[in-house]
Amino acid sequence: MSQFTTVTVPKTDTVAIQLTAPNQVKLSGTITQKDPSNDLAGFFKALHTAALADKLDEVRADVSGLTFVNSSAIRLFVDWATWLKNERGQRYTLLFVTSRNVTWQKTSFMALMSLAKEVLKIEQVS
Amino acid sequence: MESAENPPQSSPHSVPPPLVFMRFRPAWAYIDGIREFGRFFCQTTFGTQELADRACVVIQETLENAVKYSSNTADSELELSILSDGQSIEFSVSSLPDQKHLDSLRNELNGLQTLDPEQAYLAAFIRASNEPDASARLGLARIRYEGGVELSMKEEAGGRVRITATGKL
């Protein structure tokens, strides 16, 4: 049984989160809380752990509908990429689906790619 | 007459009056609304989505910093102003920070300015990755790179600090 699809999705006021496939999570809305890690860090960590347990080849994180986030939220994506980069066993590729129409996604995921290009991919959609 | 179609112009030697001036208590709950007003204002006044997006980043991150580090006193209200001389735009946030935060703010700004905005943003990502238990400290680098502005800091009377972000229209 897939562990990824059974990860508990947190309820937050401004961001909608869906697990849409055995390897896909979709986030939309905005993340501008003072400390978004309270809601989301544990969730991302659980997805990461589940993806390893499921021996997934790829996790698709569709953030194209995240219209604005603060830098504390960007930090959560840095952390996820760092956990994966530091993983010594079998690991998956983390594919971020981004929107070419959303400015913060273009700049921040470009920077993230330079940090962990061996484990990340970016797909741009309109 | 000033209008959305005719943004204000001023002579090269005068300091233009603020197009926007806001004064408010340093509360996190206000930031989203003020950011979205800034988006609307820049889109409506200058007619470019690109500038509106840049304004959002500058306003969000400067106000977050100001709110996080404000002293808890009666005179700690924040001031946000937006100015333009027709060629450039300036976002300025004045706050009364807790004095123990001033040194780290000064050091962070000085460090940033030794690198170009893109390099500084990448360096901030690397630092965040290497220091998972520390605070993110991505905000100021993000303002410069994504906001397309240069940052300066001025210490004013009464312990107030003004962070100014200036960039091209």
Q: What is the pLDDT of residues B58-92, one digit of tens each?
A: 999 999 999 999 998 888 999 999 999 999 999 99
Could you tell me which residues of chain B have a Cβ less than 8 Å from any Cβ in chain A? 28, 31-32, 35, 50, 53-54, 56-57, 60-61, 64, 68, 121-122, 125-126, 128-129, 132, 136, 138-139, 142, 145-146
Q: How many domains does chain A have?
A: 1
Q: B-chain residues within 8 Å CB-CB of A116?
A: 129
B68 to chain A: closest CA residue: A34
What does pTM read for this prediction?
A: 0.93
Spell out the domain ranges in chain B. Answer: 20-168
Question: pLDDT tens across B48-67, in order?
Answer: 999 999 999 999 999 999 99
Cβ contact B142–A71 (<8 Å): yes
Range of the structural domain that residue A27 is part of: 4-125
Say which CATH number the domain at A111 has: 3.30.750.24
Residue A94 forms contact with B (CB below 8 Å): no
This model of the complex carries an ipTM of 0.94
Element (H, E) at A60: strand A58-69
| pLDDT above 50 (res B12) | yes
Q: Which long-range contacts (CB under 8 A, 24 or more apart) does B155-162 make?
A: B155/B102, B156/B94, B158/B75, B158/B96, B159/B71, B159/B96, B159/B97, B159/B99, B160/B94, B160/B95, B160/B96, B161/B94, B161/B95, B161/B96, B161/B97, B161/B102, B161/B105, B162/B92, B162/B93, B162/B94
Q: Which of A74, A81, A114 sits opposite B122 (nearest CB)?
A: A114
| CATH architecture of residue range(s) B20-168 | 2-Layer Sandwich (3.30)
